[in-house]
Structure 1
């Protein structure tokens, strides 16, 4: 009997390793396409508002600084409208796609959003190829949004990732998907500057870069449609006590979230006191607030960073822009390693706070960057910046039924998208007003908001079942 229990889990584990259920190939190819597109979009827009563009310059010659400021204003204004379109159009379709995915087929939100994603990448390719006005990119962004955008796509990915993993391994599984995304984004960004320069001197500068982006997007779409299979949900053990799951699922370490150990805890551990533990709805609300505040800080920083590196004191070229974007993707690797290590010793809430401190400190350093090496030091301090949102998603997935994953994840993603739209507009305006006075204003603001986001997470940590930390340590 004992021998059977040892060998059976291995057989079960191997039987679940069906390659066609892996979402990773879709995530990798989509992110390659996205990272090439992001760099391509910035460089194409910069070229469109270049020195030769009379629409933003006076006919009389102006000093280089004034010309650079006008170009920055034009790029910033373009991104305000572009981000509004990207952020608001998914509101029309993303929730409906999440509902359809929960009700009919898990792949609906992924496949439809990838179709919109592919069409928007085609839009940039056509702009480069046919030299269309830069405003047509708003239409391409709208097509992406009407397909559900990133909100529908990523909530679909998270739902599939959650379905195919046990609660004990879910957080590591979700951060592993983030890691794959980060590695793909790193490779795409590193190559982007070189690919953009491929056709220098030709009218279609950036053609190779945009064609590569379309190729990866096409692969992701057809793979999700024809190859990808939905994994079977990992059943929860019947002996599991809901009250214990609700509480320790949020703050316990990943190691002690193994269902077998959870059962033992519910028998020998301290019984949970309903009066001392917050209800799941309160916990979910606090997690939502923390996620939105933190996302506000991150989105604001990332949006302004693209403009910041093009201007003095850094004044980067195409290749340096690609390398800078790639440095942002290294946090996927460091955050993954952070989760693997921290999850053995800390609660979920502690890990979320570590990530917030990491990002807040890096953003503060970024505010005072004068040289390229200082930029990379600030980026290095942000090494755990990805942990908060991923860990919050994982904690939420343990508080809800798997039949509701699509809807809850899409609500969270849409909330983040809406926050992103408002943040992008506000931060771009703040940047325009402060770029001549103190160019790091936006980064200092992000740092403050990031530290402020620790408050709701701290409340979740404080209100949880006493004794859980003690049980964890004695178990070790």
Structure 2
């Protein structure tokens, strides 16, 4: 009896860890962009910044000499962000791939712990960097080292796998994942809303310190309070080498496609392609919003940027409500179409936003931006057998890491090359690129129609029948 007491003291909910991590990430991202903008502004020329200001000055008059200067700063900041993203690409891919594949045998807590340690170390370094005014080039090195421990995608992938381990019933699993989307919306919205006030009232050092404290609490929770979802990790495979881990994951990924029929295999490939292409555009364009808002003619301060981030985060909550309401009257694939096309409209509108009011109004079409990601993830999970869920989440995390870092690097490069010519070009380009997942989704619809109904649902039912026998 007493032997079971320690395990009962553990908490079987990964949601608090996600909330702490998302809070720190949502606070750190705009802080880092604005801090880099300020440092590059000061180091590029002789234009000074007011001592009590935490953002750069901004000129709206094109004849002003400072206007040309701020265009140069925009280019340099975009290129610096590109260098940071590239530095974390390879280590982020390798660590995500290996940590999540190893978690199938060694437990989910290890990738949760290691990715949290990396985030904590990176946040602590930002505190020191801003306090001692070290060269900002050191951010590139810290990004590389932090990515070796995993990143946000690693933590999120391990969290989803943690939930899959706990929830054997598919309805319960859907509810838990929907709750996570709901919590993401609340945390990111409130954090984005307050981030500007953090900078204005506390400055960069204390703001980074708050994120560091949140990540410290998160690590303590995972280490000492979170229960491992895998009660009995396989002792045979715990000591498996990283090379064998790669081979095993590649083999299990290969079996995902081999075990399915030709039609189901095509459907799975199209769903993955649709999700990654949509993810590529939406994640790649997100850092450009802050640069676009800092520059003329908007010239937003830190508070307005916080308001904009909060409005953007509302999409998590509104998408959750949209899925809940639309599910009563339409199929999953139609909900995904709505999300893609409304996001496309928002991208096109933002390219022509020249006033603060217009910039706030263009957030309305983004209310269903998260719908395609949630729906496509659900559709993919239904194609895959219950015994292959862990491998699928590892593959999705790998693709999201590759696609996310590549996307941010690509869009930063495009923005840097076109900012002096036309600032809104990158948003128009993203609207056009969203036609790719829309066309891919049409192909999914055709395959499903030819089968008479969704092949993924038939696959799920047949796998359940087999397991019951």
TM over 0.5: yes
C-alpha contact 2:337 2:438 (8 A) present in aligned 1: yes
**C-alpha displacement at 1:284, in angstroms?**
1.6
Q: Does 1:181 align with 2:181?
A: no
Displacement of 1:128 in angstroms is 1.2
The root-mean-square deviation of aligned C-alpha atoms, in Å, is 2.5
User: Partner residue of 1:34?
Assistant: 25
What's the offset of the Cα at 1:361? 1.1
Contact residue 121 and residue 214 of structure 1 kept, 8 A = yes
2:280: which partner in 1? 296
Residues 60-106 of structure 1, C-alpha deviations (whole Å, 9 max, x = no match): xx811111111111111110011112333212211111111111212
Cα distance change of structure 1 residues 278 and 336 upon mapping to structure 2, 3 Å threshold: farther
Q: CA deviation at 1:31?
A: 0.8
Task: Specify which of 448, 456, 462 is matched with residue 432 of structure 2.
Answer: 448
Residues 17-166 of structure 1: matches in 2 within 5 Å? 20-50=11-41, 52-54=42-44, 63-165=65-167, 166=169
1:286 CA displacement: 0.6
Post-superposition shift, 1:136?
Answer: 1.4
State the alpha-carbon separation in 1 of the partners of residues 26 and 367 from structure 2: 19
In 2, Cα distance between the equivalents of 1:190 and 1:364? 25
Q: Distance in 2 between matches of 1:182 and 1:136?
A: 32
Aligned to 2:201: 198
Matched, 1:399 2:390: no
1:201-350 equivalence runs, <5 A = 205-231=203-229, 279-350=263-334
Contact preservation (8 Å) 1:49, 1:56: no
Asked if the contact 2:78/2:412 (under 8 Å) is kept, the reply is yes
SS in 2 for 1:392: helix
The 2-side partners of 1:19 and 1:313 are apart by 53
Once the two structures are TM-superposed, the CA of residue 209 in structure 1 deviates from its matched residue by 0.6
1:90/1:151 contact within 8 Å kept: no
Give the paired residue count.
402
> CA 1:404–1:117 in structure 2 vs 1: closer, same or farther (change >3 Å)?
farther
> Does the alignment pair 1:385 with 2:369?
yes
**1:467: Cα distance to partner?**
5.3
2:353 to 369, 390, 394: 369
Q: 2:444 aligns with which of 450, 460, 466?
A: 460
Q: Deviations over 1:339-393 (max 9, x none)?
A: 1112222222222221111211111111111111111211111101001112222
Give the drift of 1:18: 10
Contact 2:74 2:291 in 1 (8 A): yes
Indicate the residue corresponding to 1:171 in structure 2: 174
In structure 1, C-alpha distance between the alignment counterparts of 2:382 and 2:23, rounded to whole Å = 30
Tell me what 1:3 maps to.
none
CA distance in 1, matches of 2:88, 2:310: 22
Q: CA deviation at 1:169?
A: 4.2
Q: Deviations over 1:28-65 (max 9, x none)?
A: 11111111111210121111112x324798xxxx8111
Say whether the 8 Å CA contact 1:114–1:153 is kept in structure 2: yes
Q: Given that residues 119 and 143 in structure 1 are in contact (C-alpha distance below 8 angstroms), is that contact kept between their aligned partners in structure 2?
A: no
Which of 400, 414, 428 does residue 416 from structure 1 map onto? 400
| Separation (CA, whole Å) in 1 of partners of 2:226 and 2:45 | 47
> What is aligned with 1:258?
none
Displacement of 1:332 in angstroms is 0.5
| CA positional deviation for 1:212 | 0.5
Evaluate the alpha carbon distance shift between residue 194 and residue 359 of structure 1 in structure 2; reply closer, same or farther with a 3 A threshold: same
Q: For residue 299 of structure 2, give the secondary structure of its aligned residue in structure 1.
A: coil
Unpaired stretches in structure 1, ≥5 consecutive residues: 1-16, 200-204, 234-276, 472-476
- In 2, Cα distance between the equivalents of 1:461 and 1:40? 42
- 2:106 and 2:22 mapped to 1: Cα distance? 26
CA distance change for structure 1 residues 403 and 56 in 2, over 3 Å: closer, same or farther?
Answer: farther
SS at match of 1:383: helix
Aligned partners of 1:330 and 1:466: how far apart in 2?
Answer: 37
